[in-house]
Structure 1
Amino acid sequence: MTKKHNVFSLFSVLFLTVTLGFAQDKTVPFFADGEAQPVQGFTDTNDWIRHDLWVETTFDTDEDGKPDRMHVAVTRPKQTDTEGLKLPIVYVTSPYFAGVAADLPGVMWEVEHELGEIGKERVHPEVKRRGERPIISNSHLRKWVPRGYIVVHSSSPGTGLSDGSPTIGGPNEALAPKAVIDWLCGRAKGFTERDGNEPVDAFWSTGKVGMTGTSFNGTLPLAAATTGVEGLEAIIPIAPNTSYYHYYRSNGLVRSPGGYLGEDIDVLYDFVHSGAEDKRPGNNKRVRDTEMKNGMDRQTGDLNDFWNNRDYLNQMAPMKAALLMSHGFNDWNVMPEHSNRIYQKAKAMGLQTQLYYHQNGHGGPPPMIMMNRWFTHYLHGIDNGVENDKQAWIVRENDKHDNPTAYDAYPNPNAEDVTLFLNKGGNNIGALSTKQNKRQKMETLVDDFNISAKEHAQVSSSKNRLLYATPHLTRDLHISGEAEVTISLTSSKAAANLSIMLVSLPYEEDAKVITDNIITRGWADPKNYKSIRESEPLKKGKFYDVTFKLQPDDQIIRAGQQIGLIIFSSDKEFTLHPKPGTELTIDLDKTRLTLPVVGGLKALTKATE
C-alpha cells in the first residue's frame, strides 16, 4: 500500500484537475498511484444533481398487499446528464437517517433482578421522523463524488419514507439493499413517487456498486453481500454487527452491549422505527410483540432459531463481494469478534479479504488510502495491485490510525497458544504461570454487581474477585488472536454470571490509551457448560467446566507490566444484576488460560525470566 504520493504525482493531479474539461470534450475520473483523485469538474457542489425515488422490493413486511418500496436518494456529477457519463456507485443504507427515538426513562430492560427472571415491562417510545425530500443524507458525498463516484443513500425498511417494517436482522433488511442494487443494475423498478407509476432508470450507473457504513450502517453492506447480488463488487463494513446473538448475548448469558445496559433487540427496533405512523401499530404487533417477544428469550439467554436466523455468518455462502473489514480492539459496544468471525469465514471461502484493526473503541474507518484503493480497483477496474496487499493491517499502540502495520494475516501467523495455570492466592494476587502446581486449594469469590471491573483490577485484596498475574515482563510481549479460558466452578445458587477480564497491571487510573489497562474480556453462563443452545440449573457442590473464548485482540504488552486474569461474577457494565451474595468456588487444578503469544512459549518464557 503506497502511503504517500510523490511530488510529480501531486503536480500531475493539480494540473489535470485544473485542465480537465478544457483540454478535452468530456470530464472523466482520474487516477494516480492506484487511487481515484479529485477532479475539478466533479467538485462544485452546486453542480451536483440530487434527486430521490422509490425502488420496489420483492417483499411486503407491512402487509398492505403491495410490495414494499425503499426510499432512495442519488447525488451525482452533472456530467452524468450533460456528457452521458456513467460512473460506479458508493452506496450507504441505514435505519438511522430519518431520526431515532428519544432516550426516555424506562426504554431499556430492567437489569436488577435474579437470573432467569424478566424485568418489568419497559416503555415503548415513538420516533418523530425528520428529514425532507429529496435528501436522505449528506454522508460520504465530499469524499467520493469529487473522485468520480455517484453516492446513493437509502432508508431501511420501516424507517423514514421507506415502506415495510424494521426486523433487526430479518431477511427484508438484506433484500432491501439488494433491490436497490438490482435497480442500479437495471433489474428492478424505480418510481418517482412512493405510490406512483412513473418509472426512473439509473441510466448513469456502470452497474458497479460498493457499500460502506459504520455500526448498523456497516452491518447492512454485509447483509446485502450475503444475498450474492450481482453488481455489488466490494464492501467496507466498519464496526459491523454481524450477529444479533453475539451483540445481545454471550455464551448463553444475557449481556448488554457496552454503554447500553438493558438494551435488547426489541429496544433497537423501537429506536429506529421511524416509518409511516399508520403502519407502526401493525408492525409492532407482528414483529416486536410477537416474533421478537417469542424468540428473544431473556430468561435463559440460549441460542435458538430466532437468533441463528439473525447471524450473517450463517448466510455467507452466496457472497462474492470483496471484503475490507474495519474494527477497534477496544470496541465494547459491537465487539471485535464480529469482524473477525466474518473475516475468517471469508478467507476460508477464498474471497478477496482484508482486515483493518485499531486499538480504540467503536467506529473508526480504515485510512482513506485503503478505502480509495479498494473502490478504485473493484469499482473503476484500475489494476492497482490492492488484491496483493497484506491481509491484516493493525494500528500499533500509540501509532496514528493512518499508519497501520501490515501482517500476512490475523491472528499473527507466528502466534502460538500457550497454556497458563492458576496458583493459589486469588483473593489477593495469585500466580499465573506456565507451570502447574498440583493439589491446589479451591478458591471462592462472592458476587457483588456494585463493584466495577475496574475496581476489581485496582484492589490488592478482595473477596469479590480472583486475580492471578504473571511475573513482571522483562521484555515486550506480543499477543495476537483469541485467548480462551476453562473455568472449573461450583455455584451456591442454581444460576450465576461468569465474567472474565484480562488486564495489564498495574491498572493505571490515568492511562493515556485504553490498551494500558484492558487486554480483553469475556462472559459466559455456567448453565450452558454443554452448549450455548442448552442450559440446565447448577447443582450446589457439583463442579462444571466452562470453556469459552475471550474477545480477539492484538496487543503488545510493555516490559514492566504483568498480565492479570480476573475472574468475577456479575459485571456492572454488561450483565444482569442479581442480588449480591452468590458464591463461586473455583477448582484451580482444572482452571486454565490459553494465551495466543507471538513466538509461543519461548517468547513468553524469555519475557518472564
Structure 2
Amino acid sequence: MTHPARATRIPWKAFALAAVVALLAALAGSPPARADSGIPRTAGPPGESRPVYSYDRAVRETVWVDTRLDGDGDGRTDRVAVDIVRPSEPAQQGRKIPVIMDASPYYSCCGRGNDGQKKTYDAQGRPVQFPLHYDNYFVPRGYATVLVDLAGTNRSDGCVDVGGRSDIGSAKAVVDWLGGRGRAYDAPAGGGAVTAGWTDGSTGMIGKSWDATIANGVAATGVKGLKTIVPIAGISSWYDYYFSRGAPLYGSGPDGLADAVESSGAHQRCAAVQQKLVDGAPRSGDWTGLWSERDYVPDAGKVRASVFMVHGMQDLNVRTQHAGRWWDALARHGVERKIWLSQTGHVDPFDYRRPEWVRTLHQWFDHYLMGYDNGIERAPMADVERAPDQWSTDAHWPADGTAATTLHPGNGGAPGVGTLGAAPAPQGATEKFTDDPKLSEEDWAAAIDRPTSSKAGFTTGKLTAPLRLSGSGKVTVTATPTTATAHLSAVLIDIGPDTIRNYAASGEGITTLDRSTCWGQGTKGDTGCFRETAADTEKVGHTVFSRGWADLGTYADPHKGRPLTPGTPYTLTLDLAASDHVVPAGHRLALVVAGTDAGLIDPPSTRPTLTLDLARTSADLPVTGGAPALARALAGARPATADSGAGIAPPRMLSRLPHGR
C-alpha cells in the first residue's frame, strides 16, 4: 500500500539452504537455485506435506463467483473472477485439498511482490502466471492456490469500495463457494454452474497491504471455513490509514485508491460509488459511517481463524498502529496468533528473511489447513528483528513482564531541551514550541540537544542498563494553543549510534540483487524464480522507533474535531504505534512533542505556538520489567546538557510511500 546484546536465532537448516543457494547462484551459466532441488520426492520431516504432485500438470482454471451484491447498480449481482491452480492427482485419487487464497485489487494494475508480477493468461483466457511463490511451492505439496480479483478490478464485475461491503463481500463469497455455500459459473455472464468439489472447504487467506486488509476484514465476518489468515502489513481500520485522531495522514482519500486499481471502464459505471467515497471521507478528519463500515477491530470477537501477523516496525505506509490495535483486540478474544516484527518498512518477509519465512509459513499452513501436529502453535509467539538479519523470540507478545510505566518530562537548561525521568515536573513548569511544517521527526531527533523553537525535546541521561519497550504506548499532553487549529506529534527516539535497516530509502530496508532463486516447481510461463535481496543498512546516531499524531481539536471526542480557543489549555492523549525496541545501556531515551511531522501528517491551517503544561504531560510506555526495570536503567543516569552535541546526526530524508506492492 498506497524506520544490549543482540541474539540471532536462525535454524541450521536455513543456514544450510542459504549456503547451497549462494553456491549454485555463483556457478557460471547455472540456472537459478530451486528450493526443492535437494529434497527427495518421498522424503522429508515427519508431519510435513511434501512435494509429491506435479506442478506442470496442475489444473488451471477460472470461475466467476456470484457475490450476491450489486455494487455497480446494474440490476445484476456482481461476479468476481477467481483464478485457480491445483494439483490434478488428488482429485483423481478421490482426495480433497485445502486452499491458500490471496484476494487482491493489484493483479492487473500494479503487480505483486518485489518483482512486480501480474497475472497472465493464454489465448483461451486460462491463467498462466500466478504472482508470488505460493502456487509454485504449495501446489506440489497438495494445496490449491486461489487468486481473487476484488470486485471492480481486472476481470471482475462490480466496483471497488476500498475495504467496504463490496471489497470484503466479494472475497467472503469465494470462501463461501469453496465451502459449498455459494454459486460460481464458468463464464463472466451466463455460463454453466461450477462447484468446488475438489476442496475440503478449508481456506487460509494471505496477502500483503490491501490484500492483507481483505484477509483481516473477511476474518472479522466470522465466515465458516476460513481456518487461518496471514496478514502482512495489513490495515485494521481504514480511518487509521487516512487519519490519526483527526490529523490527516495523506492528501487524498479512498476515492484516489479506487481510481488507481479499477478495471477498464469501471470508473464510469462506478461514479456513484466513487462519490460515496468522497462524501464519506471528509478532510476534517471526523468519523463517519463510511469509517465504521471499514473498521474491523470491533468485530475481532467474530474471528474464528488463527492469525499469523507480519509487520515492519518502520512501515510508514500502513503504520504499526494497525498491527497493534488488531493484535490487542485479537488477544482480548483469545484468538490463536503469532507475529513477526521486522526493522523494515512496507516489505514482505519473503524479501528479508526468505528461507525462514517459507519454512515457517509451510509449517503454519500444514498445521492449520492440513492438520499436521508439527508444533507450530507451541513455538514462540513472536519473532522480532533486533538488528539487520538478527532475530530474537518471545513466548508471548508483548513480552512477558511488560507493564505500562510512566515517564515525565521536565525543564532543561534551554528552550526545547528538557529532561525525561520517573519524577513528575513541578507545578507551573512549561515548555513551548511553534509548529514548523517544514520539519520532520528526523529534524527533531537530529537537534535533540540543541535549543530550538520548533520542538519540545526531553531525554533521559545515558542508561545504565538496557531498557526494552514492547507493545503500544501513550503520551498525554496538556497544551495551550495560540490559534484555533493545531496538530500534535509525539515520537520516541533511541539516542545513540547503531546500524539499522535503511527504511527511508526506496527499498525500505532491502536491496534487490541481480541473481534469482526458485521456490517450488515451475513452468515456462511461471518459473517460481524471484530476485534475491539483501539488507540495506545505514549507520545512524539516533533511531526513531515509535510515533503518534493527533489533531488537538479532538480533545473532547476522538471522532470529531472542534475549534480551539486560543489561550485555553486542552488535554489529549496520543496513541503511539506498536513497536519492540531495546534502548541499550549507554544510549538515551528521548521523547519529542511537536507539531506537524513533515511527510507523515499534513499541517493545520495555521502555525500555532503551543505551551505544554509539563506537570500534566506524561508518557505511559510499555516497559518490559515495568517500574523496576526503568529504575535500574535510570540509576545514576545524568541528563545531557543543552547543545552538548550528543547523538547529533544529519537528518534522514523521509518521503511519502506509495500504497502499492
* Offset of residue 81 of structure 1: 5.1
Decide whether aligned partners of structure 1 residues 533 and 514 sit closer, same or farther in structure 2, where only a CA change above 3 A counts. farther
* Offset of residue 581 of structure 1: 3.7
Tell me which residue corresponds to 2:257.
Answer: 268
Decide whether aligned partners of structure 1 residues 176 and 603 sit closer, same or farther in structure 2, where only a CA change above 3 A counts. same
> SS state of the match for residue 36, structure 1?
coil
Decide whether aligned partners of structure 1 residues 229 and 450 sit closer, same or farther in structure 2, where only a CA change above 3 A counts. same
Alpha-carbon displacement from aligned partner over 1:185-220 (angstroms, at most 9, x marks no partner): 222222111012212222321211111001111111
User: Is the 1:465–1:566 Cα contact (8 Å) retained in structure 2?
Assistant: yes
Tell me which residue corresponds to 2:146.
Answer: 152
Distance 2:605 2:371 in 1: 60
Decide whether aligned partners of structure 1 residues 15 and 360 sit closer, same or farther in structure 2, where only a CA change above 3 A counts. closer
Q: Identify the match of residue 498 of structure 1 among 468, 471, 488.
A: 488
Distance 2:373 2:408 in 1: 51
User: Is the 1:324–1:355 Cα contact (8 Å) retained in structure 2?
Assistant: yes
Tell me which residue corresponds to 2:404.
Answer: 417
Decide whether aligned partners of structure 1 residues 601 and 221 sit closer, same or farther in structure 2, where only a CA change above 3 A counts. same
Q: Identify the match of residue 430 of structure 2 among 438, 442, 451.
A: 442
1:54 maps to 2:64: yes
Structure 2 residue identity aligned to 1:273: E
User: Is the 1:358–1:394 Cα contact (8 Å) retained in structure 2?
Assistant: yes
Tell me which residue corresponds to 1:287.
Answer: 273
Decide whether aligned partners of structure 1 residues 392 and 144 sit closer, same or farther in structure 2, where only a CA change above 3 A counts. same
Structure 1 residue identity aligned to 2:362: N
Decide whether aligned partners of structure 1 residues 177 and 582 sit closer, same or farther in structure 2, where only a CA change above 3 A counts. same
Normalization by structure 2: what TM-score? 0.78
Tell me which residue corresponds to 2:25.
Answer: none
* Offset of residue 36 of structure 1: 2.4
Q: Identify the match of residue 298 of structure 1 among 283, 297, 309.
A: 283
Q: Identify the match of residue 134 of structure 1 among 114, 126, 132.
A: 126
User: Is the 1:482–1:552 Cα contact (8 Å) retained in structure 2?
Assistant: yes
Identity of aligned residues (%): 31
Tell me which residue corresponds to 2:222.
Answer: 228
* Offset of residue 392 of structure 1: 2.8
Structure 2 residue identity aligned to 1:134: R
Tell me which residue corresponds to 2:554.
Answer: 528
Structure 2 residue identity aligned to 1:266: D
* Offset of residue 166 of structure 1: 0.5
* Offset of residue 485 of structure 1: 0.9
Q: Identify the match of residue 161 of structure 1 among 125, 140, 155.
A: 155
* Offset of residue 601 of structure 1: 2.0
Structure 2 residue identity aligned to 1:246: D
User: Is the 2:499–2:540 Cα contact (8 Å) retained in structure 1?
Assistant: no
Tell me which residue corresponds to 1:109.
Answer: none
> SS state of the match for residue 367, structure 1?
helix
Decide whether aligned partners of structure 1 residues 167 and 515 sit closer, same or farther in structure 2, where only a CA change above 3 A counts. farther
* Offset of residue 506 of structure 1: 4.2
Tell me which residue corresponds to 1:37.
Answer: 50
Alpha-carbon displacement from aligned partner over 1:530-580 (angstroms, at most 9, x marks no partner): 121232211111100111221111111112211111111111112223467
Distance 1:398 1:18 in 2: 33
Alpha-carbon displacement from aligned partner over 1:221-255 (angstroms, at most 9, x marks no partner): 12222222222111111111111011111012212
Tell me which residue corresponds to 2:166.
Answer: 172
Decide whether aligned partners of structure 1 residues 578 and 537 sit closer, same or farther in structure 2, where only a CA change above 3 A counts. closer
User: Is the 2:436–2:454 Cα contact (8 Å) retained in structure 1?
Assistant: yes
> SS state of the match for residue 269, structure 1?
helix
Q: Identify the match of residue 441 of structure 2 among 453, 475, 483.
A: 453
Decide whether aligned partners of structure 1 residues 209 and 595 sit closer, same or farther in structure 2, where only a CA change above 3 A counts. same
Aligned ranges for residues 306-385 of structure 1 at < 5 Å? Answer: 306-365=290-349, 367-385=357-375
Decide whether aligned partners of structure 1 residues 161 and 514 sit closer, same or farther in structure 2, where only a CA change above 3 A counts. farther
Tell me which residue corresponds to 1:79.
Answer: 89
Tell me which residue corresponds to 1:543.
Answer: 569
CA RMSD across the alignment: 2.8
Structure 2 residue identity aligned to 1:61: G
Decide whether aligned partners of structure 1 residues 250 and 581 sit closer, same or farther in structure 2, where only a CA change above 3 A counts. closer
Structure 2 residue identity aligned to 1:484: K
User: Is the 2:442–2:544 Cα contact (8 Å) retained in structure 1?
Assistant: no
Structure 1 residue identity aligned to 2:475: V
Distance 2:405 2:592 in 1: 18
| Structure 1 gaps, min length 5 | 8-12, 21-29, 102-128, 257-261
Q: Identify the match of residue 194 of structure 1 among 185, 188, 194.
A: 188
Structure 1 residue identity aligned to 2:403: E
* Offset of residue 75 of structure 1: 0.8
User: Is the 1:397–1:555 Cα contact (8 Å) retained in structure 2?
Assistant: no
Decide whether aligned partners of structure 1 residues 394 and 60 sit closer, same or farther in structure 2, where only a CA change above 3 A counts. same
Tell me which residue corresponds to 1:571.
Answer: 597
> SS state of the match for residue 351, structure 1?
coil
User: Is the 1:479–1:556 Cα contact (8 Å) retained in structure 2?
Assistant: yes
User: Is the 1:99–1:130 Cα contact (8 Å) retained in structure 2?
Assistant: no
Moved more, 448-457 or 67-76: 448-457
Distance 2:177 2:609 in 1: 59
Decide whether aligned partners of structure 1 residues 565 and 333 sit closer, same or farther in structure 2, where only a CA change above 3 A counts. same
Structure 1 residue identity aligned to 2:483: K
Distance 1:234 1:385 in 2: 16
Distance 1:95 1:500 in 2: 34
1:249 maps to 2:243: yes
Alpha-carbon displacement from aligned partner over 1:570-597 (angstroms, at most 9, x marks no partner): 1111222346742111111211112221
Tell me which residue corresponds to 2:657.
Answer: none
Distance 1:428 1:16 in 2: 60
Number of matched pairs: 552
Structure 1 residue identity aligned to 2:409: L
Distance 2:50 2:126 in 1: 28
* Offset of residue 327 of structure 1: 1.1
Structure 2 residue identity aligned to 1:296: A
User: Is the 2:103–2:149 Cα contact (8 Å) retained in structure 1?
Assistant: yes
Decide whether aligned partners of structure 1 residues 458 and 515 sit closer, same or farther in structure 2, where only a CA change above 3 A counts. closer
> SS state of the match for residue 327, structure 1?
strand
> SS state of the match for residue 387, structure 2?
coil
1:64 maps to 2:70: no
Normalization by structure 1: what TM-score? 0.85
User: Is the 1:457–1:507 Cα contact (8 Å) retained in structure 2?
Assistant: no
1:478 maps to 2:468: yes
Decide whether aligned partners of structure 1 residues 5 and 80 sit closer, same or farther in structure 2, where only a CA change above 3 A counts. same
> SS state of the match for residue 540, structure 1?
coil
Distance 2:289 2:182 in 1: 31
Tell me which residue corresponds to 2:386.
Answer: 396
Distance 1:430 1:600 in 2: 23
> SS state of the match for residue 453, structure 2?
coil
> SS state of the match for residue 246, structure 1?
helix
* Offset of residue 83 of structure 1: 3.7
Structure 2 residue identity aligned to 1:333: N
* Offset of residue 281 of structure 1: 1.4
Distance 1:31 1:352 in 2: 27
User: Is the 2:498–2:541 Cα contact (8 Å) retained in structure 1?
Assistant: no
Moved more, 451-460 or 439-448: 439-448
